[in-house]
């Protein structure tokens, strides 16, 4: 069985995109891991599958490179949305994921904006293992402590640090991802505030490891920074892949994320 695919990225956060709208496609965890292998397969941070949706323009399903299913992926949503926006010639579409319904818009400069919805801030929503203040969670590792947690469709813990470059994130990321306080594991963000409207962010992603950008992680970082009074409602988030994701939290709580998308190449998978 041969299936066309498209390799895309948002500021280096890379995806293999499969179109299963006409012909349903269900891949087991072994197949997902094989496609995600950067030496033997294609390689990706997340696998993005487009599916038909009766109550939206598109249903998107996400899988991490370890085979696990993810509830949300901001940059993957923007990449998928860009394809449907282009093929329909529209400037707005509605998208459904297992984490809920989203909206995507094509902006005049060619970038794609996704409404990621409001963050969920309760300890059960993240979820955390027990009741506690989600703005000050006692997660810690060498060089970091006192995380702020929220859910953007998936669990996020963000640490605010003085110097990102001083952290050994590959060494501390796995332990924090699998900390007992995060029963469903977590996406671990490390943010350095540069001004009221700018921050740097590196994310150790649940099921994917260190990535060049993380859209939902950028949303979570800005939400948590706002809760601590560190940034304004609109903030540019500089990621290791180069460039910025622009995050804006509206008065109704919804978090908007915009940025560029690109296609690297297309090909065919022999399943």
Note if 214 is an active site residue: yes
Q: Binding residue per annotation — 187?
A: yes
Distance of CA 33 to the CA centre of its chain: 19
Note if 150 is an active site residue: no
Q: Binding residue per annotation — 268?
A: no
Q: How far apart are CA 255 and CA 58, in angstroms?
A: 20
Q: Binding residue per annotation — 178?
A: no
Q: Binding residue per annotation — 46?
A: yes
Q: Binding residue per annotation — 91?
A: no
Place of tokens 């706002």: 226
Residue of 79, 149, 150, 214 marked catalytic: 214
Q: Binding residue per annotation — 205?
A: yes
Query: With contact defined as beta carbons under 8 Å apart, do 159 and 146 qualify?
Result: yes
Residue of 73, 79, 149, 219 marked catalytic: 73
- 10 Å CB burial of residue 123 (0-12, 13-18, 19+) is middle
- 10 Å CB burial of residue 118 (0-12, 13-18, 19+) is middle
Binding residues for substrate: 13, 46, 64, 74-75, 154, 187, 205-206, 215-216
- Residue numbers in the known binding site are 13, 46, 64, 74-75, 154, 187, 205-206, 215-216
- Which of the residues are catalytic? 73, 214
């Amino acid at each position: 069985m041969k299936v066309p695919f498209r390799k895309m990225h948002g500021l280096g956060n890379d995806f293999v995109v499969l179109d299963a709208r006409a012909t349903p496609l269900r891949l087991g965890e072994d197949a997902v891991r094989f496609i995600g292998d950067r030496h033997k397969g294609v390689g990706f941070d997340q696998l993005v599958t487009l599916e038909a949706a009766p109550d939206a323009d598109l249903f998107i399903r996400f899988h991490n490179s370890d085979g696990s299913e993810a509830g949300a992926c901001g940059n993957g949503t923007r990449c998928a949305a860009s394809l449907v926006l282009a093929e329909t010639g529209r400037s707005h579409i509605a998208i459904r994921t297992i984490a809920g319904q989203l909206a995507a818009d094509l902006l005049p400069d060619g970038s794609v904006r996704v409404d990621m919805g409001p963050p969920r801030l309760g300890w059960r929503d993240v979820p955390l293992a027990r009741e506690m203040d989600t703005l000050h969670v006692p997660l810690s590792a060498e060089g970091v402590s006192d995380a702020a947690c929220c859910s953007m469709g998936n669990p996020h813990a963000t640490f605010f640090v003085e110097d990102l470059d001083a952290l050994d994130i590959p060494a501390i990321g796995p332990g924090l991802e699998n900390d007992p306080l995060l029963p469903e594991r977590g996406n671990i963000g490390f943010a350095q505030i540069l001004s009221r409207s700018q921050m740097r962010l590196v994310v150790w992603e649940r099921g994917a490891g260190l990535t060049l950008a993380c859209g939902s992680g950028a949303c979570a970082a800005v939400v948590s920074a706002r809760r601590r009074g560190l940034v304004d409602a609109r903030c540019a988030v500089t990621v290791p892949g180069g460039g910025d994701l622009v995050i804006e939290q509206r008065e109704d709580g919804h978090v908007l994320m915009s940025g560029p998308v690109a296609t690297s190449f297309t090909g065919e998978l022999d399943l």
